[in-house]
A and B are shown apart, each in its own frame.
Chain A
Amino acid sequence: MCNYCAFKETLVLLVTFVAGDMANKLITEIGLPKSIGHIFAARNIITAKDALSLTEFELMELLDVGLEQVKFAVALISEVTSPPYQTVQSLLEQRVQNEYLMGHLPTHLKGLDAALCGGLPFGALTELVGPSGIGKTQFCLKISLLAALPSCYGGLDGHVIYIDVESKFSSRRLIEIGINSFPEIFCLEGMAKEMAGRITVLRPGSLTEFTESLQKVKVSVLQHQVKLLIIDSMAALVSGEYEQGPQRQHPLGWHISFIKSLAEFSRIPVLMTNQVRSRVANQISQYVFQAESRELMVEDNTEKFDSRLVAALGIHWAHAVNVRLVLESRSGQRFIKVAKSPMSPPLAFPFQVTSMGIVLLNDDGVEMEGSQINAIDHQGHSDIIYHGDER
């Protein structure tokens, strides 16, 4: 696909996104025959969403027209409202041509970057989950710098929006990581100011404020050269004990959808941190058919681990994120695990927090299996948030 076509397509996508997704397309703009168009309006069916939320039979009743007419109208509305398609080959070519490393933000952790095919994926949600004090914010600080760095140093040369819910952002620590990791850049005159100037920190005090700030973020992302969005942490937004009752809709459901669309249309990586909570005692993760055929079940190994921690925010959240990185500690050694990724095997890498931020001790990683992949360990971990050099 030629450059112009790719550009045109991106523009179309951007315009569509800014205008609001196709659900809100007005019936009047779809080009239905006048007679039926008027009937839709008369019955208060204004947008495509209104029309498509009803079955053909309901529409027939509501509009008082025959089935053929309803079918024709629905087919036309559907065709116009449907998203466009692309062949995967053209998607690939687009990425290779237009995007840095085919759409990845390197973390400078060699083993992790290799496992993630280059780094944090653009247009997708990456979750960082682990017990408090393990190094999530350290990771976020480092990656903000990496996105801000000029391209000649391997960065994205862009702005970063850092939504700091728990007031954990430390500018001093950010500069320290910068000076220690990239001394040749930071010793340059005004570099520290320039880099730090590219990172915008938002501090919403409540879920409502967060929702409002998301709208502002969307505008900013499209207008400025924002290359990374960090939310530290998602779990803190849902105050109090969130019980995942089966009927209740997830309180962050809308936000997750919104952030996903934002990430996709602007093709930026989004990094979100999550907390852990203890596992409820009677929470057996089995299907009905598994419970019935107990003889076939292998003994669940998680009981043997000293792990009673699970990621907060529930299973709906776990489905929604594209990449899940688990930070944990076992026998005093910290690990960063790729627990969920569409393109990587489940590898665990030992790491340390140093003056340069997070550093891997081993780039090969150990492959996890079964319940080890998602278990979150918290053994032998001293709850030191940050205390200078930890060697």
Chain B
Amino acid sequence: MEVLRLPLSASQKGKLISAGYTSMASLSSISPSHLALELKIPQTEALEILKSVSNGSKLESTSSSHTIVNGAQSAWEMLQEEETLVHITTSCADLDNILGGGISCKEVTEIGGVPGIGKTQLGVQLVVNVQIPYDYGGVGGKAIYIDTEGSFMVERALQIAEACSADMAEYSRLYRKGSQARESKMMHPKDFLENIFYFRVCSYTEQIALVNYLDKFITEHKDVKAVIIDSITFHFRQDFDDMALRTRVLGGMALNLMKLARKFGLAVVILNQVTTKYADGSFRLALALGDSWSHASTNRIILHWNGNQRYAYIDKSPSLRSASAPYSVTLEGIRNSASNNKRVKNT
């Protein structure tokens, strides 16, 4: 036990252990008055104990920054980091534009919409696009697809991978001449599919377990740069009688996902369903899982119909302006909407 290593008297250590404080972490965010109450010691003594704890952990700090709080970052450092932030393209230029380049890695983005609007399509497009190599302007990473509803269709992933591969070949042919055209990274559809790790989740317990386990999994597969959860809602809509429990569990999961995104610098995309809410005298559509969940993601995009056109609307983002962009779902996947872009039928 870590507490034993602290420079404290035996009786102090004894009191800490019997009160349940066995590790440094358990003492890291406790106030002196609280500790004093717990151990039945004077506050000054509690303060001493906590100082020795923080001294111990400071030695382990690898941060070379001069922050006043251990483990934090200054806004300037964050800005430097943001400049180098990578984005995953959605294959729809209009959508990429309003997103500042695409879905950003290192953040959690929530995408919601009615059935059939294209959430799964966008999810599959992203797990393919994250693999586009650096030479082609992509991230060159692998992907995890967590399927909770069974909407993932292998045939569709293959179609989208084939289209991406064809696009890359076309790009190579047009723009990369001479020595560059050495085809340094020719990706075949099979390669794309090989780099998508597919998990099928059948209950909310499995969902929680998997999100917890992802930390270890991604440590072992450091190339993963995108995690798609399709959808986060399904198992939470029916099994729960205790709504308070649901909120707590979802909250925990949301934090885990944010940690994951930051720690590994990957994009976490959660697809959400839609429900009806009674407000202002009529029924309105809203994303599922309630108001408390709406804080869980950093960015939120709502996919909706406007007349005959599909649109993506940025509902929430700390840095992007609220905007709408049209897109379409074609045989090749998500693409720009163009009135003359007639969809090739699947015959």
Contact = CB atoms under 8 A, between A and B. Distances in A.
Contacts, number: 263
B283 A83 contact: no
A79 B201 contact: no
A290 B273 CA distance: 17
Interface residues on A, range: 35 or more
B283 A283 contact: yes
Contact of B194 (A89, A290, A324, A371): A89
A367 B345 contact: yes
A343 B116 CA distance: 11
A35 to B, nearest CB: 12
Contact of B284 (A249, A291, A370): A291
A67 B307 contact: no
B189 to A, nearest CB: 9
Interface in B133-175: 144-145, 149-159
B197 A87 contact: yes
Contacts of B206: 21-23, 81-83
A347 B344 CA distance: 12
Contacts of A284: 282-284
Interface string B317-347: 0000000100001010000000000010111
B7 to A, nearest CB: 19
Contacts of B313: 287, 289
A175 to B, nearest CB: 33
Contact of A91 (B22, B154, B205, B249): B154
B278 interface: yes
Contact of A117 (B150, B155, B205, B308): B155
A284 B195 CA distance: 42
A365 interface: yes
A347 B345 contact: yes
Nearest to A251: B238
A250 B237 contact: yes
A86 B198 contact: yes
A308 to B, nearest CB: 15
Given A21-B203, A287-B284, A369-B308, A66 B209 contact: no
Interface of B: 1-2, 20-23, 25-26, 114-116, 120-121, 144-145, 149-159, 190, 193-206, 208-210, 212-213, 215-216, 231, 233-235, 237-241, 245, 248-249, 251-252, 273-286, 302, 304-309, 313, 315, 324, 329, 331, 343, 345-347
Interface of A: 21-23, 48-49, 52-53, 55-56, 58, 60, 64-69, 74-75, 77-89, 91-92, 95, 102-103, 114-115, 117, 121, 123-125, 244, 246, 249-250, 253-254, 256-257, 260-261, 263-264, 280, 282-291, 296-301, 315-316, 318-322, 324, 339-340, 342-347, 364-365, 367, 369-374
16 contacts: A21-B206, A22-B205, A56-B252, A68-B22, A83-B206, A87-B196, A88-B198, A125-B150, A285-B114, A286-B284, A288-B284, A299-B307, A301-B307, A301-B308, A344-B346, A367-B345
